[in-house]
Amino acid sequence: MSTLASPPAAAPSSTAPWTRVSDALRAAPGTKVTVKGWVRTRRDSKAEGGMSFIALHDGSCFDTIQIVAKGDLGNYAAEIARLCTGCSIECDGTIVTNPKGGAEVAAGAADGGAVRVIGWVDDPDKYPIQPKAHSFEYLREVAHLRVRTNTFGAVARVRHCLAMAIHRFFDERGFCWVHTPIITASDCEGAGQMFRVSTLDLLRPLARLQGTGESEEAKKVRAECAAKPGMPPWTYGQVDFSSDFFGKEAHLTVSGQLNVETYACALSNVYTFGPTFRAENSNTARHLAEFWMIEPEMAFCDLAWDADIAEAMLKHCIKAVFEERGDDLRFFDERIEKGLIDRLKHVLESPFKRITYTQAIEILEEAVRSGKKKFEFPVKWGTDLQSEHERYLTEEHFMLPVILTNYPKQIKAFYMRLDEGCAPGRETVSAMDILVPKIGEIIGGSQREERLEKLDQRIDEMGLDKNAYWWYRDLRRYGTVPHAGFGLGFERLILFVTGMQNIRDVIPFPRAPKQAEF
Nearest to 261 by CA among 446, 462, 430, 419: 446
Nearest distance from C-beta of residue 336 to RNA, angstroms: 13
Kindly report whether the peptide bond that precedes residue 8 is cis, defined as omega within 30 degrees of 0: yes
Nearest distance from C-beta of residue 83 to RNA, angstroms: 9
Nearest to 185 by CA among 177, 194, 193: 194
Q: Does 134 bind RNA (CB under 7 A)?
A: yes
Q: Is 470 helix (H, G, I), strand (E, B) or coil?
A: helix
* Residue 405 near residue 428, CB atoms below 8 Å: no
Kindly report whether the peptide bond that precedes residue 17 is cis, defined as omega within 30 degrees of 0: no
User: 106 to 125, contacts with RNA by CB under 7 A?
Assistant: 106, 124-125
Encoded amino acid at 10, one letter? A
Q: Does 374 bind RNA (CB under 7 A)?
A: no
In terms of Cβ atoms closer than 10 Å to its own Cβ (0-12, 13-18, 19+), residue 132 is: exposed
* Residue 417 near residue 446, CB atoms below 8 Å: yes
Going by the DSSP 8-state scheme, the letter that residue 331 receives in this structure is H
Nearest distance from C-beta of residue 412 to RNA, angstroms: 9
The Cα 289–Cα 266 span in angstroms is: 32
Binding residues with RNA: total (CB under 7 A): 71
* Residue 55 near residue 40, CB atoms below 8 Å: yes
Nearest distance from C-beta of residue 214 to RNA, angstroms: 29
By DSSP bridging, strand 183-184 and strand 250-252 are: antiparallel
Among 27, 84, 145, 156, binds RNA (CB under 7 A): 84
Encoded amino acid at 462, one letter? M
Q: Does 63 bind RNA (CB under 7 A)?
A: no
Of 27-35, 80-88, 153-161, 465-473, the segment contacting RNA by CB under 7 A is 80-88
Of 198-206, 227-235, 361-369, 500-508, the segment contacting RNA by CB under 7 A is 500-508
The Cα 130–Cα 148 span in angstroms is: 10
User: 239 to 278, contacts with RNA by CB under 7 A?
Assistant: 255, 278
Among 137, 171, 201, 427, binds RNA (CB under 7 A): 137
Q: Closer CB to RNA, residue 158 or residue 225? A: 158
Nearest distance from C-beta of residue 279 to RNA, angstroms: 10
Of 148-156, 310-318, 361-369, 483-491, the segment contacting RNA by CB under 7 A is 483-491
Q: Does 72 bind RNA (CB under 7 A)?
A: no
Among 47, 202, 207, 423, binds RNA (CB under 7 A): 47
Among 78, 112, 118, 138, binds RNA (CB under 7 A): 138
* Residue 413 near residue 190, CB atoms below 8 Å: yes
Among 19, 60, 85, 180, binds RNA (CB under 7 A): 85
Helices (H), 80-145: 136-140
Q: Does 55 bind RNA (CB under 7 A)?
A: yes
Of 91-99, 204-212, 392-400, 461-469, the segment contacting RNA by CB under 7 A is 91-99
Q: Does 140 bind RNA (CB under 7 A)?
A: yes
Q: Does 380 bind RNA (CB under 7 A)?
A: no
Q: Does 30 bind RNA (CB under 7 A)?
A: no
Going by the DSSP 8-state scheme, the letter that residue 5 receives in this structure is P
The Cα 106–Cα 67 span in angstroms is: 6
Nearest to 431 by CA among 408, 463, 461: 408
* Residue 68 near residue 115, CB atoms below 8 Å: no
Of 4-12, 38-46, 216-224, 419-427, the segment contacting RNA by CB under 7 A is 38-46
Of 129-137, 219-227, 232-240, 311-319, the segment contacting RNA by CB under 7 A is 129-137
User: 290 to 349, contacts with RNA by CB under 7 A?
Assistant: 291, 293
Q: Does 149 bind RNA (CB under 7 A)?
A: no
User: 404 to 463, contacts with RNA by CB under 7 A?
Assistant: 440-444
Burial annotation 224-263 (CB, 10 A radius, 16+ → b, else e): ebeeeeeebebeeeebebeebeeeebbbbbbbbbbbbbbb
Q: Closer CB to RNA, residue 59 or residue 444? A: 444
User: 181 to 200, contacts with RNA by CB under 7 A?
Assistant: 191-192
* Residue 127 near residue 146, CB atoms below 8 Å: no
Of 222-230, 284-292, 416-424, 475-483, the segment contacting RNA by CB under 7 A is 284-292
Going by the DSSP 8-state scheme, the letter that residue 512 receives in this structure is B
Q: Does 464 bind RNA (CB under 7 A)?
A: no
Of 130-138, 263-271, 322-330, 361-369, the segment contacting RNA by CB under 7 A is 130-138
Q: Does 397 bind RNA (CB under 7 A)?
A: no
Q: Does 282 bind RNA (CB under 7 A)?
A: yes
Nearest distance from C-beta of residue 509 to RNA, angstroms: 13
Q: Does 88 bind RNA (CB under 7 A)?
A: no
- Full 3-state SS string of 408-466: EHHHCCCCECECCCCCCCCCEEEEEEEEECCCEEEEEEEEECCCHHHHHHHHHHCCCCH
